[in-house]
Every structure is written in structure tokens, then in C-alpha cells.
């Protein structure tokens, strides 16, 4: 298949680059050929995005079960063990099934278009890294229907508790292995594409920030996914083959698992947020009609955050009983992350400053991201203070923190990006009215959902409990109401996408947005099946933001 | 004109952020429920509270500055107002300023943060030691100097009300989910060392009023310390997911004067002596069944269930099981030593001989087991002493 593509790529090289006609797309015909065997970066990107949207809805319905049980004190709906399966599965699905694959989908669609490459560097591996995922998640979800139930020890899978999971544990471990393989292949592809396939003249410091953040993310993924794979493999052998990596009675150490897990886990949270930084750095300049402020500083800040993310892991373990010197080190290192994170926020605000702003849906979500992510960053700073974390840790305060950075953080950025590039992907404009309704409902309800959780945590409500003492009743009910509205609002998102793809009558132009800059806007909408068969010219008009072109 | 707009937006943002913050301080007056971190009753807890408020203030001020700048810009620099975009792309001066100032703020925060941590982690000479062991889903407390040793579980009313669709309104239960059958009694103005560990999985012992939580890790012993200044009852919960009943293993610390503490220790020891004597006499089947039912309800039923049917696959049924209806020696051994690699703990070190004998007798005769067997407390005493 690939050879065939390369072949007709040469045939039509001239035609595609100069005048834009999409009648010579040569899309494979037939469902299997088009989707199962595809090596086309746009089709694979679409597969990833659709898959992650489905996972977002499945993970979201689990969250609805959780919020429904927590609506009032007492157990009304589910047994505690099933509740724990829900919290565990919700997190695993959202992290590995929704957010990460969604970013890979964006990478597939946009990186070749943004650096002027005809496709990803390794198209067959690209196909494989996607098609592993449906099997991994079918396997993971199937554990809910097994006799021993799904995993219920939290997404962190701490032993010895996780080792009490029944036979289904093996399926969980293999599912995690498969996700890891998929992520690693995806990252290798991203790195190979960015380092080898850029159009001549697209130097590293002319790349759009989304490409930069993904390049750094890909290195993080390659560094930490094997660590996670190793950790769960040790759990597997402890569970089924009698080893004692984490069993104190056999000479092992349960805390060692936590160190290994968080050596993966902290970079993992940046894997979910760095591409979000990238998307927001694309959107704010477009709708401010003004170049990104401090492009180079943004690149360096991203790189320093990535570096620091490797040396802060034990801030998740302040209560585990570490030596004082260790706690001090991890506290200082964690506080330090606030500096490059602050630089990013200040640069975004400066990008907007004295711009000529309009507020289409992508811009609304991007602004929502900056405000609400900042709140999450500030609570992160509070959590970094080790002695006070001995109070905050494992309470709803932490739940509020990470949901602020992940939901109105990473997920809002995903939505912003979707609205931003949807016209480019489909050739149609989405409904601006419904996009805005989606934004306002989401932005308001997400705060009703998560803001009260700060108060709950401070007042002493632990996380991961199915029932709570009556003093926490009011804010839990408020939070649940926010949760239901937020959940329902996402159906609007699905509706807007379906409408845009199949029903919308408004055709998109190539540039789509008045202030849009960058190579992806030089190709027609929808982007033809094959783009940049000949490398595009790189100049001030086609480079989104690079310091050298800004004077 | 322009200036007044800036002022208006800044004020609006300040008001919004301040409102969220203000709620923290005043909500208790309206709802009767605390929604901020507790000040606590130890020096450390109070230091932590102050540190928390300082950092929160800093975050609030940073938030106000950033969001004001942003909303001023959103308000003024919009195309619909005919604003023309400037085209500047960076300002080295500004970027240096907003790198250096945050670093300075962090350094200022780091000083009290370091002090507080040292206060917690460098324990002073302590006057007494309590060993805390977490297991699914209870806490065991051993007073190493005073020879007191007991298990503390969720109080019975809460335990009944918390069942799925129990029909009991939690509002009618005193201290729902935050009450126990036996409190940890400690003297005030005494430096107490805690040795914290676990039997099965990781738990975390947390009483907010003391200002910290510490993980209970099986196979390892963590240290922590406290010195409570005010007599009172302080409630907390397990803070590390430890399985299905993680939400149902509360902690209640009762701080009393030194004299009251001494009296409490005396009463505990007297009770222990009574129990010792009781264990030596011969018990009737009825007595053992009655007492056994109580022990079963508080200790065994969480896993094996009130009807003895267990919860497959983790918790085996006792009704009709080969252990409860098989040879007595094997049954006794399972209960005394626990079953390795499962949630079944070694009860031998945790319950009195009488409790164990009663539970054995009860489970051999309840749930239709009807073996007619009777296990005397003194049998258990003899087995335990080898
Ligand atoms: C200024 C930046 C940040 C700082 C200083 C920070 C700090 C922390 C700290 C200290 C904890 C541990 C709290 C505890 O368990 O007691 C934590 C938890 C967490 N953070 Fe952050 N954080 C920051 C940004 C982020 C970002 C960007 C993300 C993800 C996009 C994130 C996701 C999480 C998650 C998922 C957890 C909880 C994990 C768990 O226990 O399940 N954080 N953060
Ligand atoms: Cu972290
Ligand atoms: Cu627990």
C-alpha cells in the first residue's frame, strides 16, 4: 500500500502543490481498505480522534456513576467495591483512552500539515499503533464483566492492594502493556517525522509551538512508558508467579512501586498537558491577530518543564515516610516548576495584550484554558509545600487540583483544537452558536463541579471514598449537580461535530480564520488526501511564529 | 475613559477571586460546617494552617494580577471596538522580570515551608509510644509503655446505616462514619511517638487536628509524633485507598488531662485482668454463642458478611465451609494465624482468647453449620502458649 501511495505521490506532485483540486484524492475504496489498512496520516488521525471521543464518553459515564453515588451521604446505588472499580476505570480510560490518544490524533493530523511533510515518517507503524488501542481497551473494559471484577485499587495500582485483584488483573496488565507499545510507536513516529520530514527552510525554531510541544512530549513518552511497563510487569509476576518485588514478607518493598510509578506518573501528567500548551499557543495569536509573545521563551519553558518533570515524582509521596532531605529536595524541585509554568501563562496574557481579539469558540475555550489551568497550577503550588501536603494529600483538594489541570486544562485545549481545525478537517464550518453554548455550559458547570471540591478537601474529606460524613453533604451535592450538567453538555459537543461533518452547508475557506497563520492554512479545506507532495515554500507568510520573522 | 475601564475590570476580577476566597473564611458561620483547613490543636497543625493561609494569599494575589490583566485586555483589545493589533513579539525586560519575581516569591515561601517540615520530621524526645497498625478495615492501637492493646472499628450505628440502601438516614446517626467503638485516649501536653505500620495493604492514619497524615505500610514502620494542647475529641479517617471499606475505617482521638489518662489506663488494665480470669473459666454454649455473635458482627462480618455467605471471589463463605465444619484444630489455626496472601488477618495477636473462642463457636454453629462444637477460651489460651 505504501509503495502505491509513494508512487502516485510522484505522479501528481506538481498538480497538488500549485492549484488546489481535491478530485484526485485516490482514497482507497471500501471500508476495510480505507480504515483498517490505512497508512494515511489524516485517516489515522481521524481514527484516533473518534476513538478517544468514544472513550471520553465511556469514561464520562463512569464519572456520572461516581457523582451520582456521591450526590448525598449514604450508599444508594452501588456497592463500595464497584465504586472503586468505577474510580479506577474512569481514570485509566480518561488518561490512556481519551486524553493521550486524542493528542496522538492531533499529532497525526496536524504535524505533517504544520511542517510541510507529505505524511508521517513511518506510515505502517502508524496504522499499527492505532489499531492496537481498540483491542487494549476492549480487554481492559472486559474485566468489568469478569467474576473477579475490574481493577479497584485506583489508577495508581499501588500494591499490595492491587495484588488483591482477582484473575482479571492479568488482563489489566496486558492492556497497559499494549497501550504502552502503542504510545511508544506513536512517539517514535512523531520524532522521526519532525526531525526528518520538515520542508526545507522549516528550521526547528520556525516550527509551530504545537509541533515543539509534541516533540518534547514524544521524548517524555519514550522515556517513561517503558518504566510503567516494567512496574506493571513486576506486579504481574508478584501476583501470579510468586516473586516478591513489592512484598515485604519476601524481602520486597511496596513503596518502591510508588517511586517507580511516579517516575512515570509525573512526566505522564505533562504528557497530557504539553500538547495542550501547544494548541493554546496556536489559537491565542490567531484570534488576537498578533504574533505569539516570546516564542523562544515558550520553547525553552516547555523544555525546562519537561526536564523538571523527571525530578519531582516524590511530591506524590510526602506522607509515605521519606528522609527529611528527600522531602526538602522534592519540595524545592516541585516549587521550581511554577517558574516556567508562570512564564507560559504570562506570555499567553501578553499575546492577548493589545491584540485585536474576536471570540469564536476556539478562542473561548483557549481563554477558559488559560484561566482555569492557572487555578490548577496555583493549587499545585500549594500542594508542593510538603508539610501542608501532609494535610492536603489524598483529599478532595488534590482531586480538585488535578481535575482543574486536566479537564478545563487538557480537555478544554482538546476542544479548542477541535473547533479550531474542524473546518480544515471536514471542509465545513461548525455551528458557532452551538459551539458557544457548549463552551458556556461547560465552563460554568466545570467550576460548579470542581471548585467546591477544594473546600471539601480542606475540610477533611478523603478521596476515593463512596460515602462521607454528613458535614460534607452540601458541597458534594453541588459538585454532583455541576457534574451532571457538564456531562450532559458534552453531548452538545458530539452533536456539533456530527452536524459539522454531515450536515453543515457552510463551506470553509482555506484560511478559515482571518488571523490564522501557518502551513496548514495554505492547503484547501478539507485538506486533500495527500498534501505537500512537493515541499511548500517557507516564508514569513507561511511560518506561524518564529522570532526572526517578526520584525 | 480608558483608565476607568481598566479600574472597573480589575475591580470585578478582584471581587470574583476575593469572593471565592472569602467564602472559605465566612462559610462556617452560615452553614455550620468548616470549609477551610483546620487550625488544629498542635503547634505543628497551627504552623501548617498559617503556612497554608500565606501560600493561599500569595496565590490569590497572583491570580488577581494575572486575571485582571487578561480581562482588561479582553475588555479593551477587541476587534469589535475597532482596536488595531500591535505587533510586538517579545520584551526581554518583561520576561526577565517575570522570571525573577516568581523565583523570589518562591524563596520567600521556601523559608517557612522548610521550617515547618523540620518541625515535623525531626522528632523531639518523646514520653510515650503508641503503635498503630492498619488492617482491612480497622485500626489496632498498642500502648507500648502502658500495656493497653485494642482494636478500634466503625461504630455500630454508622456501620448499619452505611449499607447499600439501608433505609437509615445518615443525618440521624451521630458523627456518621466518623465514630468508633473504642477511642484512642491520649494525655494532653505530652510528647507522644506513633509507630505506624500495616498488616495487609497500605493505609494512612490521618487526624486533621494533629496536622499530618502518615502512611501505614506493611512490613515497614513509620514514625510520627504529636503533642496535643487542648483536651477534646478529634476525628479523622484512613486516607489511603485500602479496598472496599476504605471509607469506613475512622479514627477518633480523645485527648484528656494526664490524671484522666492515668485513670483510663488503670481501667483498661483492670478490664484486661477480668478478661484473663474469664478466659480460664468454663463457658456454656449459649454464652459463647451470644458473645460470638457480637464479635462476629464487629470483626468478621465486613468480609464474610452477616449471613456467613461471604463475598465471592475474595471473601469465602463460612456457611457450610470445609473449615468451619471440618476439624477444629485446623479451624483454630486459620483464625489465629490468618491466611497468607489474603485479607484474612492473624487474629491471634489482636483479639482476646475469649473473643476468639466465642467467634469460633459461633461460626461452627450459626448459618446452618450446626456442628454442636464448643471451643473453650482456655483451649485457645493453651494453644497460644504452645
Ligand atoms: C505548577 C504546576 C504543578 C505543580 C506544582 C503540581 C503539584 C502537584 C503535587 C504536589 C501533587 C501531589 C498532591 C498529593 O497527592 O498530595 C499533584 C498531584 C497531581 N497533579 Fe499536579 N502539579 C502541577 C501541575 C499539574 C499538571 C499540569 C497536571 C496535569 C495536566 C497535574 C496533574 C496532577 C495529577 C493527575 C495529580 C494526582 C495524581 C494522583 O494522585 O492520582 N499537575 N500535583
Ligand atoms: Cu506530580
Ligand atoms: Cu484506607
Least Cα distance to A110 among A51, A46, A173 occurs for: A46
- B147 contacts B275 by C-beta, under 8 angstroms: no
**DSSP letters for B61-81:** HHHHHHHHHHHHHHHHSBGGG
Ligand 1 centroid–CA A308 distance in Å is 13
Q: In a mutational test of the pocket of ligand 1, which residue from A217, A278, A316 has the highest number of ligand atoms less than 8 Å from its CB?
A: A316
Please give chain A's pLDDT, 551 residues, in tens. 333 344 333 434 433 444 444 445 678 888 888 888 899 999 999 999 999 999 999 999 999 999 999 999 999 999 999 999 999 999 999 999 999 999 999 999 999 999 999 999 999 999 999 999 999 999 999 999 998 899 999 999 999 999 999 899 999 999 999 999 999 999 999 999 999 999 999 999 999 999 999 999 999 999 999 999 999 999 999 999 999 999 988 899 999 999 999 999 999 999 999 999 999 999 999 999 999 999 999 999 999 999 999 999 999 999 999 999 999 999 999 999 999 999 999 999 999 999 999 999 999 999 999 999 999 999 999 999 999 999 999 999 999 999 999 999 999 999 999 999 999 999 999 999 999 999 999 999 999 999 999 999 999 999 999 999 999 999 999 999 999 999 999 999 999 999 999 999 999 999 999 989 999 999 998 999 999 999 998 887 778 776 655 43
Q: What is the CA radius of gyration of chain A?
A: 23
The three-class DSSP label of residue A207 is coil
| Helix, strand, coil shares, percent, chain A, to 5 | 70, 0, 25
Note whether B139 and B237 are same-domain residues: yes
What is the pLDDT at residue A154?
Answer: 95
**Do B134 and B258 belong together in one domain?**
yes
B186 and B321 together in one domain: no
Q: Are residues B219 and B168 in the same domain?
A: yes
The torsion defined by the Cα of B221, B222, B223 and B229, in degrees rounded to 10, comes to -120
Q: Are strands B232-238 and B250-256 parallel, antiparallel or unpaired?
A: antiparallel
CATH number at residue B185: 2.60.40.420
Q: What is the pLDDT of residue A407?
A: 96
Same domain, yes or no: B105 and B65: yes
Largest interatomic CA distance in chain A: 72
Query: Are the Cβ atoms of B168 and A74 closer than 8 angstroms?
Result: yes
Q: Of A16, A41, A239, A266, which one is the catalytic site residue?
A: A266
The size of chain A, in residues, is 551
Q: Cα–Cα distance between B126 and B121 in angstroms, integer?
A: 13
- Cβ contact, residue pair A152, B119, below 8 Å: no
Between CA B215 and CA B106 the distance in angstroms is 28
Chain A nearest C-alpha distance from B194 (Å)? 13
* Percent of chain B predicted with pLDDT > 90: 51
Average pLDDT of span B109-132: 93
Nearest CA to ligand 1 atom 7: A380
pLDDT above 90: residue B87: no
Q: B29: which 3 cell numbers?
A: 458561620
Residues B242 and B362 placed together within one structural domain of the fold: no
Q: Do residue B170 and residue B146 come from a single domain?
A: yes
User: Per-residue pLDDT for B350 more than 50?
Assistant: yes
Q: What domain range is B96 assigned to?
A: 3-121
pLDDT computed for residue B310 by the predictor? 87
Q: What is the pLDDT at residue B22?
A: 66
Element at B205 (helix H, strand E): strand B203-207
Q: Domain boundary residue among B256, B273, B290? A: B273
Query: CA B316 to CA B344: how far, in whole Å?
Result: 10
Q: Give me B305's grid cell.
A: 458478611
Q: CA-CA distances (angstroms) from residue B122 to B44, B112, B115, B126, B220?
A: 12, 15, 10, 11, 19
CATH number at residue B35: 1.10.287.90
Q: Are A110 and A170 in contact (CB under 8 A)?
A: no
Q: What is the pLDDT of residue B315?
A: 85
Q: Could you identify the residue written with the cell 454463642? A: B289
Identify the bridge partners of residue B78 per DSSP, sorted by sequence position: A357
The answer to whether the beta carbons of residues B151 and B345 sit under 8 Å apart is no
Mapped to the 3 state alphabet, what secondary structure does A400-455 carry? HHHHHHHHHHHHHHHHHHHHHHHHHHHCECCCHHHHHHHHHHHHHHHHHHHHHHHH
Q: Quick check: A5 and A517 in contact, CB under 8 A?
A: no
Mutation site, B6, B20, B35, interface A, largest A CB count within 10 A: B35
Name the H helices within A289-395. Answer: 295-308, 324-352, 361-384, 386-392
Instruction: List the one residue out of B284, B287, B304, B307 whose CA is nearest residue B347.
Output: B304
Distance CA B42, CA B184 (A): 17
Can you give the pLDDT at residue A66?
97
Is B48 in the A-facing interface, judged by CB distances under 8 Å? yes
Using CA coordinates, name the residue in chain B closest to A255: B217
Task: Check residue A23 and give its pLDDT.
Answer: 47
Kindly report the CATH number assigned to the domain that includes residue B300.
1.10.760.10
| One domain for residues B73 and B94 | yes
Over residues B320-343, the pLDDT tens digits come to 888 888 888 889 999 998 887 777
Which pTM does this prediction carry?
0.91
Q: What residues are in contact with ligand 1 under a 6 Å CB criterion?
A: A 156, 269, 272-273, 315-316, 334, 337-338, 341, 377, 380-381, 383-384, 389, 392-393, 398, 401-402, 405-406, 409-410
Taking CA–CA distances from A250, the nearest residue in chain B reads: B219
Taking the CA of residue A276 as reference, the ligand 1 atom at the shortest distance is: 30
Rounded to an integer, what distance in angstroms lies between the CA atom of residue A385 and that of residue A369? 25
Residue A122 CA to residue A129 CA, distance in Å, equals: 11
Ligand 1 atom closest to Cα of A334? 5
C-alpha A188/C-alpha A186 separation (Å) is: 6
Pair (B265, B132) in one structural domain:
yes
Please give the pLDDT value at position B85.
83
Of A168, A183, A309, A351, the active-site residue reads A183
User: B132 with B58, same domain?
Assistant: no
Is there a single domain that holds both residue B268 and residue B286?
no
Select the more confidently predicted residue: A481 or B34: A481
Q: Which of B121, B144, B163 is the last residue of a domain?
A: B121
- Domain endpoint, select from B87, B104, B121: B121
Q: Distance (Å, rounded) from C-alpha B267 to C-alpha B183?
A: 14
Residues B248 and B191 in one domain: yes
| Helix (H) and strand (E) counts in chain A | 18, 0
Q: What is the 3-state secondary structure (H, E, C) of A274-322?
A: HHHHHHHHHHHHHHHCCCCCCHHHHHHHHHHHHHHCCCCHHHHCHHHCC
- Which value does ipTM take for this structure? 0.89
CA distances from A36 to A4, A25, A126, B262, B377 (A): 16, 18, 12, 76, 70
Residue whose grid cell is 524545592: A332
How many domains does one find in chain B? 3
Amino acid at each position: 500500500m505504501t509503495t502505491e501511495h509513494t508512487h502516485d505521490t510522484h505522479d501528481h506532485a506538481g498538480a497538488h502543490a500549485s492549484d488546489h483540486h481535491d478530485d484526485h484524492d485516490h482514497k482507497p475504496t471500501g471500508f476495510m481498505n480505507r480504515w483498517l489498512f490505512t497508512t494515511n496520516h489524516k485517516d489515522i488521525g481521524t481514527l484516533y480522534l473518534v476513538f478517544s471521543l468514544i472513550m471520553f464518553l465511556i469514561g464520562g459515564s463512569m464519572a456520572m456513576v461516581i457523582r451520582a453515588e456521591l450526590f448525598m451521604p449514604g450508599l444508594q446505588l452501588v456497592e463500595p467495591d464497584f465504586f472503586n472499580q468505577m474510580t479506577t476505570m474512569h481514570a485509566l480510560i480518561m488518561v490512556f483512552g481519551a486524553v493521550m490518544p486524542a493528542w496522538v490524533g492531533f499529532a497525526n493530523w496536524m504535524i505533517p500539515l504544520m511542517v510541510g511533510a507529505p505524511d508521517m515518517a513511518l506510515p505502517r507503524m502508524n496504522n499499527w499503533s492505532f489499531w492496537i488501542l481498540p483491542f487494549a481497551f476492549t480487554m481492559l473494559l472486559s474485566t468489568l464483566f469478569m467474576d473477579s471484577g475490574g481493577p479497584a485499587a485506583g489508577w495508581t495500582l499501588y500494591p499490595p492492594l492491587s495484588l488483591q485483584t482477582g484473575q482479571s488483573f492479568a488482563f489489566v496488565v496486558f492492556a497497559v502493556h499494549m497501550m504502552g507499545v502503542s504510545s511508544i510507536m506513536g512517539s517514535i513516529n512523531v520524532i522521526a517525522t519532525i526531525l526528518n520530514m520538515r520542508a526545507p527552510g522549516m528550521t526547528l525554531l520556525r516550527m509551530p509551538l504545537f509541533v515543539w510541544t509534541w516533540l518534547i512530549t514524544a521524548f517524555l513518552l519514550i522515556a517513561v512508558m517503558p518504566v510503567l511497563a516494567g512496574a506493571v510487569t513486576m506486579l504481574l509476576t508478584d501476583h501470579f508467579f510468586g516473586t516478591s518485588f513489592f512484598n515485604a514478607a519476601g524481602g520486597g518493598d511496596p513503596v518502591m512501586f510508588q517511586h517507580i510509578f511516579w517516575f512515570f506518573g509525573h512526566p505522564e501528567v505533562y504528557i497530557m498537558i504539553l500538547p495542550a500548551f501547544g494548541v493554546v499557543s496556536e489559537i491565542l495569536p490567531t484570534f488576537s491577530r498578533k504574533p505569539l509573545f516570546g516564542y523562544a521563551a515558550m520553547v525553552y519553558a516547555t523544555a525546562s518543564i519537561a526536564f523538571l518533570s523527571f525530578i519531582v515524582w516524590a511530591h506524590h509521596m510526602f506522607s509515605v515516610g521519606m528522609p527529611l532531605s528527600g522531602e526538602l529536595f522534592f519540595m524545592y524541585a516541585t516549587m521550581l516548576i511554577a517558574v516556567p509554568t508562570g512564564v507560559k501563562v504570562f506570555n499567553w496574557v501578553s499575546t492577548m495584550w493589545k491584540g485585536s481579539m474576536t471570540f469564536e469558540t476556539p478562542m473561548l475555550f483557549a481563554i477558559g484554558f488559560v484561566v482555569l489551568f492557572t487555578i490548577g497550577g496555583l493549587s499545585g503550588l500549594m500542594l508542593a509545600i510538603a508539610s501542608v501536603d501532609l494535610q492536603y494529600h489524598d483529599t478532595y483538594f488534590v482531586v480538585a487540583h488535578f481535575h482543574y489541570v486536566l479537564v478545563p486544562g487538557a480537555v478544554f485545549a482538546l476542544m479548542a483544537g477541535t473547533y479550531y481545525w474542524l473546518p480544515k478537517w471536514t471542509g465545513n464550518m461548525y455551528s458557532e452558536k452551538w459551539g458557544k453554548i457548549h463552551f458556556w455550559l461547560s465552563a460554568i458547570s466545570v467550576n460548579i463541579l470542581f471548585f467546591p471540591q477544594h473546600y471539601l478537601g480542606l475540610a477533611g474529606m478523603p478521596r476515593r471514598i463512596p460515602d462521607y460524613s454528613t458535614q460534607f453533604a452540601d458541597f458534594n451535592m453541588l459538585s454532583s449537580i455541576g457534574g451532571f450538567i457538564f456531562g450532559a453538555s458534552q453531548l452538545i459537543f458530539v452533536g456539533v461535530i456530527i452536524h459539522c461533518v454531515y450536515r453543515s452547508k457552510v463551506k470553509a475557506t482555506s484560511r478559515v480564520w482571518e488571523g490564522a497563520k501557518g502551513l496548514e492554512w495554505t492547503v484547501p479545506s478539507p485538506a486533500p488526501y495527500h498534501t505537500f507532495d512537493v515541499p511548500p515554500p517557507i516564508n514569513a507568510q507561511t511560518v506561524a511564529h518564529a522570532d526572526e520573522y517578526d520584525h | 475613559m480608558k483608565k476607568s475601564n481598566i479600574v472597573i475590570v480589575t475591580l470585578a476580577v478582584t471581587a470574583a477571586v476575593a469572593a471565592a476566597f472569602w467564602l472559605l473564611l465566612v462559610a462556617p458561620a452560615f452553614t455550620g460546617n468548616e470549609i477551610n483547613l483546620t487550625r488544629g490543636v498542635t503547634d505543628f497543625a497551627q504552623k501548617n494552617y498559617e503556612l497554608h493561609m500565606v501560600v493561599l494569599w500569595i496565590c490569590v494575589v497572583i491570580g488577581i494580577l494575572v486575571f485582571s490583566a487578561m480581562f482588561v485586555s479582553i475588555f479593551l483589545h477587541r476587534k469589535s471596538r475597532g482596536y488595531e493589533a500591535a505587533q510586538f513579539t517579545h520584551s526581554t525586560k518583561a520576561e526577565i522580570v517575570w522570571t525573577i519575581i516568581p523565583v523570589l516569591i518562591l524563596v520567600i515561601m521556601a523559608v517557612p515551608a522548610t521550617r515547618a517540615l523540620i518541625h515535623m520530621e525531626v522528632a523531639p524526645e518523646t514520653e510515650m509510644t503508641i503503635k498503630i497498625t492498619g488492617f482491612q478495615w480497622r485500626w489496632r492501637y498498642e500502648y507500648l509503655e502502658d500495656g493497653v492493646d485494642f482494636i478500634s472499628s466503625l461504630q455500630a450505628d454508622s456501620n448499619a446505616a452505611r449499607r447499600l440502601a439501608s433505609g437509615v438516614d445518615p443525618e440521624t446517626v451521630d458523627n456518621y462514619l466518623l465514630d468508633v467503638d473504642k477511642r484512642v485516649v491520649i494525655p494532653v501536653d505530652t510528647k507522644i511517638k506513633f509507630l505506624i505500620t500495616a498488616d495487609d495493604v497500605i493505609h494512612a492514619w490521618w487526624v486533621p487536628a494533629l496536622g499530618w497524615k502518615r502512611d501505614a505500610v506493611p512490613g515497614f514502620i513509620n514514625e510520627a509524633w504529636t503533642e496535643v494542647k487542648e483536651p477534646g475529641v478529634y476525628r479523622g479517617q484512613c486516607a489511603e485507598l485500602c479496598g472496599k471499606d476504605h471509607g469506613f475505617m475512622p479514627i477518633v482521638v480523645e485527648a484528656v488531662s494526664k490524671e484522666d489518662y492515668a485513670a483510663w489506663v488503670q481501667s483498661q488494665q483492670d478490664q484486661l485482668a477480668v478478661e484473663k480470669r474469664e478466659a480460664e473459666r468454663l463457658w456454656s454454649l449459649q454464652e459463647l454463642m451470644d458473645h460470638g455473635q457480637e464479635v462476629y458482627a464487629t470483626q468478621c462480618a465486613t468480609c464474610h458478611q452477616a449471613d456467613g455467605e461471604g463475598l465471592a471471589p475474595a471473601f469465602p463463605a463460612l456457611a457450610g465451609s470445609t473449615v468451619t465444619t471440618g476439624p477444629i484444630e485446623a479451624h483454630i489455626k486459620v483464625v489465629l494465624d490468618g491466611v497468607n496472601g489474603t485479607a484474612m488477618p492473624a487474629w491471634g495477636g489482636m483479639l482476646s482468647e475469649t473473643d476468639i473462642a466465642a467467634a469460633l463457636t459461633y461460626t461452627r454453629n450459626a448459618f446452618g453449620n450446626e456442628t454442636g462444637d464448643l471451643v473453650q477460651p482456655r483451649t485457645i489460651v493453651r494453644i497460644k502458649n504452645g
